Structure 1
Amino acid sequence: MKTINVVAAVIQHAGQILCVQRGVGEHAYVSEKWEFPGGKVEAGESNEEALAREIREELHLDIVVAEFLMTIDHTYPNFRILLHTYLCTAPHRRITLTEHLSFCWLPTIELDTLDWAAADLPIVARLVSPAF
């Protein structure tokens, strides 16, 4: 089974977090699900560099990668994903969608109202946890 190394950004601005909705894809179990934006790490890139690049490419947004949050090791039916997640900040909320269907900014307490991709669920659980 193929393992994919990816990064994700929990982008915070003015007390809310950016959530993006995936487009329709070849795998129904992730199609149109919500996720934290990010993408694949390319050869020679650090996770932080990959994350900043992916957010610029997909959302036309410059972010500050603040700190590592957690790594998720999740196996979908057709592939395994290692999802390295970072807390990030953005200077504003203006984005341009280039790959996603939709986006929203939500307060932490409302994150669990969306239909998340399975690999992102542990991140949501951590963020909405009273211990966070």
Structure 2
Amino acid sequence: MKTLHVAAAIIVDGNRILAAQRGYGPMAGGWEFPGGKLETGETGWEACVREIREELEVTVGDGCHFVTVEYDYPDFHLSMECFTCRIVDGTLHLHAHSHLRWVQKDNLQAVHWLPADLEVVEKLEGPLA
């Protein structure tokens, strides 16, 4: 089974977390933490910063590794490094997603998360969050 290595941003603003709705592909309509594939030689954090700049036109900073999720989808294995961070420059614009939504940390289940991202949500809701 093919493995996809991706980095995702858990963008925090006070008590809110940014959710992004996929606008393409077989998982279109599902909600996720924005991010994308690591390029050769990139660290997870470097990929996270680059992908967020490309997808949302903002710069994120204060990155801290939160969790790495290993998840088996039917056609591939996903290895997703997730980083908490905040927007330090720019204004959000949509490029790869159909919608963005700020979700209150105590109401993260308000959107229908993709399965791998749901594992991150469960950790965010946990006692160590």
With normalisation by structure 1, the TM-score equals 0.92
Residue 99 of structure 1, aligned match among 96, 100, 105 = 96
Contact between 2:7 and 2:80, CA under 8 Å: does it hold in 1?
yes
Measure, in 2, the Cα distance between the counterparts of 1:93 and 1:33. 25
The 5 Å alignment of 1:109-124 reads: 109-124=106-121
The 5 Å alignment of 1:15-26 reads: 15-25=15-25
Q: Secondary structure at the match of 1:116?
A: coil
Aligned identity (percent) is 37
More strand by share: 2
The 5 Å alignment of 1:36-115 reads: 36-91=33-88, 94-115=91-112
Contact between 2:59 and 2:89, CA under 8 Å: does it hold in 1?
no
Unpaired segments of 5 or more residues in structure 2? none
The aligned residue for residue 128 of structure 1 is: 125
Equivalenced residue count is 129
Q: Secondary structure at the match of 1:44?
A: coil
Q: Which amino acid aligns with 2:108?
A: L
Q: Secondary structure at the match of 1:123?
A: helix
Contact between 1:59 and 1:96, CA under 8 Å: does it hold in 2?
yes
Q: Which amino acid aligns with 1:44?
A: G
Give the aligned CA root-mean-square deviation in angstroms: 1.4
Q: Deviations over 1:22-43 (max 9, x none)?
A: 0131x2xx22100000000000
Q: Deviations over 1:33-58 (max 9, x none)?
A: 00000000000111111110000000
Runs of 4+ in 1 over 6 A off after TM superposition: none
Q: CA shift at 1:106, angstroms?
A: 1.3
